[in-house]
Amino acid sequence: MRIVIVTGMSGAGKSTTLKMLEDFGYYCVDNLPVPLIPMFAELITAPSSEIEKAAIGVDARTTSAFSDLVNVLKRMKETGIDYDVIFLEANDDILIKRYKETRRVHPLAGADRVDAGIARERKKLSAIKKSAHFIIDTSSLLTRELRQELERIFVNNENYKSLFVTVVSFGFKYGIPQDADLVFDVRFLPNPYYLDELRSLTGNDDPVRDYVMSFQEAPVFLEKLSDMIDFLLPRYIIEGKSQLVIAIGCTGGKHRSVTLANAFYEKMAENTDYGFRIEHRDVNR
């Protein structure tokens, strides 16, 4: 029997996560009051139960008893009922944007603005977040990437990748990505744009890639960047970081940055301790 407690910030993807777990064969119950969780767990772990795995969605707005969730789960474990807690997280700007797009009212905002509700919820969830087994930050995750991560953990029983790295190429003329944690400028390399035969191509095409990588500075930059990121990643995890966005930019975001971002991604993705994705923001502009 596997029991998964799904909780986290409103708007971070709890409902989506429950639906995905249901697709994976989990018996799912949403918004179960905290005092009823041990009773439900006893029922599904009884010898007569036909349920093999279950997911319980717990919302901060359920009742005032939510503050006792950590203690309730601790007592469950003491009685021999094991479980995993997955906490869905997202940064404030993303949560506010999602609420604006859906035009929904934050459940803890009351008559105040959305950001006030988010602040109250973070405070209310701080204890359960500290005791969570898995924290997934959905700020920059696509729906399919969230599904892949959940499938890796709860279906294939693979190791959880506690840090998810997004490598994004961009053009400085269009602005630096707002969510970038680390920004690297590769405009020191010759620009393929000024070669007629390469101008219409991108860093995803072999002629551009070969041209950019033919300059000795390119592989040296790639090696030094990889060494630095290898050094930083475990230290970011110690600090509790679960998402990292590495932005590599050139003038227009089509040639040099795309080439280096691809090469860096291919090199770093060999490390299976972390999750990696790549995005080319301006390649089609």
Give tens-digit pLDDT for 135-194: 888 888 888 888 888 888 888 776 556 678 899 999 999 999 988 999 999 999 999 999
C-beta neighbour count of 86 within 10 angstroms:
22
Overall number of domains in the chain: 2
In this structure, the answer to whether residues 135 and 221 fall within a common structural domain is no
Whether the predicted pLDDT of 272 surpasses 80: no
Predicted local distance difference test score (pLDDT) of residue 160? 58
- Mind listing the pLDDT tens digit for each residue in 214-241? 999 999 999 999 999 999 998 887 776 7
In this structure, the answer to whether residues 149 and 16 fall within a common structural domain is yes
Predicted local distance difference test score (pLDDT) of residue 61? 67
In this structure, the answer to whether residues 53 and 114 fall within a common structural domain is yes
For 89, residues 6+ apart whose C-beta sits below 8 A from its C-beta are 8, 9, 12, 129, 135, 136, 137, 138, 139, 242
Instruction: Assess if residue 21 is contained within a domain.
Output: yes
Predicted local distance difference test score (pLDDT) of residue 74? 87
In this structure, the answer to whether residues 171 and 191 fall within a common structural domain is yes
Q: For residues 65-69, give the mean pLDDT.
A: 74
Burial class (CB in 10 A: 0-12, 13-18, 19+), 257: buried
For 233, residues 6+ apart whose C-beta sits below 8 A from its C-beta are 163, 165, 244, 273, 274
Whether the predicted pLDDT of 63 surpasses 60: no
Whether the predicted pLDDT of 259 surpasses 70: yes
Instruction: Assess if residue 255 is contained within a domain.
Output: yes
Percent of the chain exceeding pLDDT 70 equals: 95
Which of residues 189 and 277 earns the better pLDDT score?
A: 189
For 99, residues 6+ apart whose C-beta sits below 8 A from its C-beta are 11, 105, 106, 114
In this structure, the answer to whether residues 124 and 211 fall within a common structural domain is no
Predicted local distance difference test score (pLDDT) of residue 162? 62
In this structure, the answer to whether residues 147 and 107 fall within a common structural domain is yes
Q: Which of 154, 179, 196 is the last residue of a domain?
A: 154
| Inter-residue contact 3 to 56 (CB < 8 Å) | yes
Phi, psi of 127 (to 5 degrees): -70, -45
Q: For residues 181-210, give the mean pLDDT.
A: 96
Predicted local distance difference test score (pLDDT) of residue 174? 96
pTM greater than 0.85 (yes/no): no
Instruction: Assess if residue 159 is contained within a domain.
Output: no
CATH number at residue 143: 3.40.50.300
Predicted local distance difference test score (pLDDT) of residue 176? 95
Which of residues 181 and 273 earns the better pLDDT score?
A: 181
Q: For residues 266-275, give the mean pLDDT.
A: 81
Predicted local distance difference test score (pLDDT) of residue 161? 60
Q: Which of 111, 126, 154 is the last residue of a domain?
A: 154
Give the domain extent around 230: 164-280
In this structure, the answer to whether residues 24 and 63 fall within a common structural domain is yes
- Mind listing the pLDDT tens digit for each residue in 97-144? 888 777 777 777 767 777 888 888 888 888 888 888 888 888 888 888
Instruction: Assess if residue 61 is contained within a domain.
Output: yes
Which is it for strands 2-8 and 84-89: parallel, antiparallel or unpaired?
parallel
For 95, residues 6+ apart whose C-beta sits below 8 A from its C-beta are 9, 10, 11, 12, 114, 118
In this structure, the answer to whether residues 109 and 51 fall within a common structural domain is yes
In this structure, the answer to whether residues 112 and 172 fall within a common structural domain is no
Instruction: Assess if residue 285 is contained within a domain.
Output: no
Q: Which of 124, 154, 184 is the last residue of a domain?
A: 154
In this structure, the answer to whether residues 101 and 19 fall within a common structural domain is yes
Instruction: Assess if residue 261 is contained within a domain.
Output: yes
